[in-house]
Every structure is written in C-alpha cells, then in structure tokens.
Structure 1
Amino acid sequence: MTATRFLARMSLETEIGAALSDTRIRLLEEIGHKGSINQAAKAVPLSYKAAWDAIDTMNNLAPEPLVVRVTGGRQGGGTRLTEYGQKMVAMYRALEIEYQAALDRLTERLNEAGGCDIRGFQKLMHRMSLKTSARNQFSGAITGLRDGGVDYEVRVRLDADTEIAAVITKASAENLGLTIGKEVFALVKSSSVMLSVDQTMRLTARNQLWGKVAEVHAGPVNNEVTLVLPSGRSVTCVVTGESCKALGIEVGVPVCAFFKSSSVILAIYD
C-alpha cells in the first residue's frame, strides 16, 4: 500500500492570519498573464464574482494593492498585477518548493520510524480551519482603546488615511487581549453597510468611508455594490435596486459607505 504523503498547500501568514493561498496565487498568476479578471477566473477556475471577491480581500489585507483596475484602451480596460503582487507570487512559489521538499523529508523519516496517522492529522487540521461569511474583511493595528465601562471603543487603522471604529463588550476586549499596536481582523457584513452620495449629509454612523463605485452586481431585488477607497481597499454592501436607482449608483460615482461601530466584529489569531 502506497504511503500517504503530505502535500504542500501553503498559505502565507501575516500577524493576523492567512493572506495568500494556492488558489489566490494561481488567480494572481493568471491575471499577470492575461490582464483580464474574466479570463483569469476561467483559467483557475473561479466564478467571476468569486475572483473579484478574492482580489478585494487580498487588496484589503495587503500593505499595498496586489491587483489594480486599468481603465481605457482598446479593450475598455482590464486588471493588472502590480509590482508588489509580482513579488508576492514569486516569493510564494519559491517558498512552496522548499516547503514541499521539507514535507517529503519529514514523511520519509516518519515512515522509517514506523509511520504515523497522517490522514487523522490532516482531518484534524481541516476541521480546525476557519472561514467567515463577513463580506468585508480588513486588517490593521489598534490605535485607540477607550473604556466605556461595560464596553470598549476600539479604533483600527487600515492605512495612512483610514481608521474604523468598533464597539465591543469589555469582556470581549479582555478575552481578545486587545492592546495598542496589536494586529486584528475587522469584519463587517455587507448588509450592515449603507450608502450615501450626499457629501453635506451628517450621519451618526462612526465609520464613513468615501470611495468610487467599482462594481454593481444586479439581482432581482437587491444589488451588491463594491466601491474602491483611495488606498485601493474596497467595501461591499447590499442595497435594493430601487435605492441604487434613486441614488444614481453606477460605476465611477463617488459614494460614502457608512456603518455603525457596533456592526464591526473584531478577531485575532493566537
């Protein structure tokens, strides 16, 4: 019977968790080759929407964008892998080669020593993996903590120009071990994000992020709207088709995405 082998399915980790996986790397590689998100998604394969979701997540979590939208040209625009994105792909593939070699050496030693329950270990790792349904996933360092008695206001810096605020219970803050400078995930459901096009409107929502509409996916009742912030990060929300029409929401329109601090969920990796 052929011995079970550990296969390298590597992910690159930041201080707060996984940032790049094999599927995402293949998507980046195809974008670099084809300059088209649609063609790259078909080659992976991924749906067009899943590909854009992955790109938005990577750009939100990375120190700088890995992929940028390109406008104009005979083809009407496309997507381009940035120099930073190219470096990340090259680093991933180089590490992957070394990673697989190390796993092969480990498997050989384990088999020589009488083997081990590799399949059981693989199942355990699979069950312990974590995914979230929150459409908007950001990462950043904590820049402010304010004790409100029963709750905490936490400020998280996403980039040089953008901070978001979260309000969580005091017990949650203590359980997470939050401190100034600590890296955290900030998760926001798309249904918690609202839109405004009026720059003079005053809002009670603590988080107000201005950007331009990049994508509008129309549905029978609701539309999914994605806007890109000046930093290259993105925010996605779900609004009714009627609201989109009333606000004049279309690609290129400046829009403010706003959400309450209580709608932000914080997470960390131990």
Structure 2
Amino acid sequence: MLSHLTHHMTRRPQRFALLEQVAAQGSITKAAKAAGLSYKAAWDAIDELNNLAGQPLVERSVGGKGGGGARLTQEGARLLALYHRLEALREKVIESAEHVEDLERLERLMLQTSARNQLHGEVVAVEPKGHSDLITIRLPGGLQVLAQITRESTERLGLAPGRSVIVLIKASWLSLHEHAPVDAANALEGRVDTVTPAPSGPADIRLSLPNGQTLCVLLPAEAELSPAPGQTVFACFEPDQVLLGAPL
C-alpha cells in the first residue's frame, strides 16, 4: 500500500531515473535500458518532461552512435538535483501523515493522464462565449493556444490572466496540414522529427515546435498529407478539443 502511494507522491520516479541515466550514459538508448524503459517510452518521457518544464531538460541528437547522443541541459541538471533533495524528504512526509486517508487523498490528487500532449502555458485572456469561455494560453516562446471550456470549469480552475496551466491534447485530435488553414483556430507550426508507421492503424508522428516543446500526432492512413522527417507542417485542432489542468 505505502509503496504504491509513495510512487504517486514522487510523481513517476522512473522519469527522474531516466534523467539520471542520461547524465551518466550520454545516450538515450543506454539510458532507457538502464532505467528499464523501451527506447520509445524513453523518448515519450523526455518529450513530456521537456513540455511540462517549459524548456528543454534533455538535448539529444538523433541517429548518433548507440541510438543518439543525449545530455542534460543546465535546467535539467538543476531539476534533477532538486528532485534528489525532495526525495530525501519523502520518508519524512510519509511519517508525518496522521492517517492513511491523508495518503489516499494525496494519491487522488496526483493522477496520470492518457493525453500524450501536455504543454505548459500561461493564461493571457478569458473571453465569455455564451455559457462557455474562450481561454487564450501563451506557450513558451510566444506561441498561443485557444481553449473553449465551460464557465463552471473556468471558475473551478480559477482561470485568469497570469494563471499557470497545462494544455492537454490527445494525439488523435490533431490533424496535419502543409499550410495553415485560414479558418483554423489553432495551427501550431512544427518540424517532423520522426514518423513511425503502423501495419494496421494510424502512424505515430512526432513534431518539434519552435519553442522546444513537442507534439505527438496519430495520423490515419487515409490522411491526405504523408509527412516526412524534416518537413514543416501545421498541427491543427479545435478550441473545444483542448483540456486544461491547473495546479491546486
């Protein structure tokens, strides 16, 4: 029971184990193996960490010896050191909980999400639209995303200019275009990093945004665009396909 709860309290520690191995091994392939992750899972974890941090924690070069070289950025090293300090306090936190219910409550507050795209941003505007609100979010580097949510959600999350949020977009909700559609509410320009086709089902496309964040797109086989690595494309989605999360 306690081991399961402490896993959640440290917010998926295998991610930080991966950072440790990147620092030690200098290779994503070797780091993934040492951390007990597949190569793809390691890439996904690194992309998610970079996105949530708002700036790269790991720098990597695709195709190098051993599957590509990698190293922690200065910010990545700083956050890893911070994690080690927090880890040292973990047992004290567990011991200070007066009841098992305290730990169970913490567990519920630290849920994972199935949305692969999680981008850190900041609210810059809230515009009423009938029973909904149109939320303008600024991502690092000045990119913007529009989200349409209910008024109740706006109030419950305490959304207002300056509020930090996490933008959640499922990979299957994104469509790719060679040029930004004129009527697109959200069109993020990115460079195709990898294309992983599937024998049956959508291809897995990984995009790099100009600000260092990444997007994962599941592209159906019948899609008009067949992007190649290095190509510039636009990832489009509707405001009502954006989910928002905010710190408590």
Q: Same fold by TM-score, threshold 0.5 exceeded?
A: yes
Show the 5 A alignment for 1:65-104.
65-71=56-62, 77-100=68-91, 102-103=92-93
Residues 1:213 and 2:204 are matched in the alignment: no
Show the 5 A alignment for 1:179-258.
179-198=160-179, 201-220=180-199, 221-243=201-223, 247-258=225-236
Query: Contact 1:140–1:183 at 8 Å: present in 2 too?
Result: yes
Distance 1:36 1:165, change over 3 A: same
Aligned partners of 1:197 and 1:73: how far apart in 2?
29
SS at match of 1:247: coil
Q: Alignment length, in residue pairs?
A: 246
Residue of structure 2 in register with 1:139 after alignment: 120
Name which of 129, 141, 154 aligns with 1:173. Answer: 154
Identical pairs, percent: 36
Aligned partners of 1:103 and 1:202: how far apart in 2?
51
State the one-letter code of the partner of 1:167: Q
Aligned partners of 1:128 and 1:72: how far apart in 2?
39
State the one-letter code of the partner of 1:32: A
- 1:225-258: CA deviation from partner (whole Å, max 9, x where unpaired): 0101111100111112453xx6341221111111
Unaligned segments of structure 2, at least 5 residues = none
Aligned partners of 2:81 and 2:156: how far apart in 1?
38
Query: Contact 1:31–1:79 at 8 Å: present in 2 too?
Result: yes
Residue of structure 2 in register with 1:16 after alignment: none
Query: Contact 1:193–1:259 at 8 Å: present in 2 too?
Result: yes
Structure 1, 63-72 or 48-57: larger mean CA deviation: 63-72
Aligned partners of 2:51 and 2:18: how far apart in 1?
16
Query: Contact 2:58–2:72 at 8 Å: present in 1 too?
Result: yes
Unaligned segments of structure 1, at least 5 residues = 13-19, 111-115
**TM-score normalized by the length of structure 1:** 0.79
Once the two structures are TM-superposed, the CA of residue 26 in structure 1 deviates from its matched residue by 0.6
Query: Contact 2:208–2:215 at 8 Å: present in 1 too?
Result: yes
**TM-score normalized by the length of structure 2:** 0.86
Distance 1:149 1:46, change over 3 A: same
Distance 1:186 1:123, change over 3 A: same
For the aligned residue pairs, the C-alpha RMSD in angstroms reads 2.8
Aligned partners of 1:259 and 1:7: how far apart in 2?
36
Residue of structure 2 in register with 1:52 after alignment: 43
* Runs of 4+ with >3 A deviation: 4-12, 71-77, 120-129
Distance 1:162 1:66, change over 3 A: same
- 1:45-66: CA deviation from partner (whole Å, max 9, x where unpaired): 1122222111111111113210
State the one-letter code of the partner of 1:236: C
Once the two structures are TM-superposed, the CA of residue 209 in structure 1 deviates from its matched residue by 0.9
